[in-house]
Amino acid sequence: MTMTDNTAAIVGGPELPQERKLVTEIPGPESKKLMARKQAAVSKAVGATVPVFTVAAGGGVLVDADGNSLIDFGSGIAVTGVGNSNPRVVKAMAEQLNRFTHTCFTVTHYDSYVEVAEALNRLTPGDFEKRSALFNSGAEAVENAVKIARHYTGKQAVVAFDHAYHGRTNLTMGLTAKNIPYKSGFGPFAPEVYRAPLSYPFRDGGLDGVTAARKAISTIEKQVGAENLAAIIIEPIQGEGGFIVPAEGFLPTLVAWARENDVVFIADEVQTGFARTGAMFASDHEGIAPDIIVTAKGIAGGLPLSAVTGRADIMDHPQVGGIGGTYGGNPIACAAALATIESYEQDGLVQRAQEIGTTMMGRLNALASEDPRIGDVRGRGAMVAIELVDPATNEPDAELTGKIAKYAHEHGVILLTCGTYGNVIRFLPPLTMPDHLLDEGLRIVADAIAAA
Q: Under the rule (CB under 6 A), what is the footprint of ligand PLZ? A: 77, 137-139, 142, 165-168, 235, 239-240, 268, 270-271, 296
Residue (182 or 202) nearer to ligand PLZ, CB:
182
CB of 269 to ligand PLZ, least distance (A): 8
Q: Cα(452)–Cα(450) distance, rounded to whole angstroms?
A: 6
CB of 415 to ligand PLZ, least distance (A): 15
CB of 260 to ligand PLZ, least distance (A): 26
- The helix or strand, by DSSP H or E, that contains position 383, with its residue range, turns out to be strand 383-388
Residue (16 or 415) nearer to ligand PLZ, CB:
415
Residue (68 or 330) nearer to ligand PLZ, CB:
330
User: What strands lie across the sheet with 424-427, from one edge to the other?
Assistant: 374-380, 383-388, 424-427, 416-418
Q: What is the DSSP string of 199-236?
A: P-TTTTTT--HHHHHHHHHHHHHHHT-GGGEEEEEE-S
Residue (16 or 382) nearer to ligand PLZ, CB:
382
With b meaning 16 or more CB within 10 Å and e meaning fewer, what string describes 172-201?
A: bbbbbbbeeebeeeeeeebebbbbbbbbbb
CB of 381 to ligand PLZ, least distance (A): 16
CB of 300 to ligand PLZ, least distance (A): 11
Is-cis flag, bond preceding 27, omega within 30?
yes
Residue (166 or 380) nearer to ligand PLZ, CB:
166
Q: 32 exposed, middle or buried (CB, 10 Å; 0-12, 13-18, 19+)?
A: middle
Residue (240 or 291) nearer to ligand PLZ, CB:
240
Q: 169 exposed, middle or buried (CB, 10 Å; 0-12, 13-18, 19+)?
A: middle
Residues in Cβ contact with 2 at an 8 Å cutoff, skipping those fewer than 6 apart? none
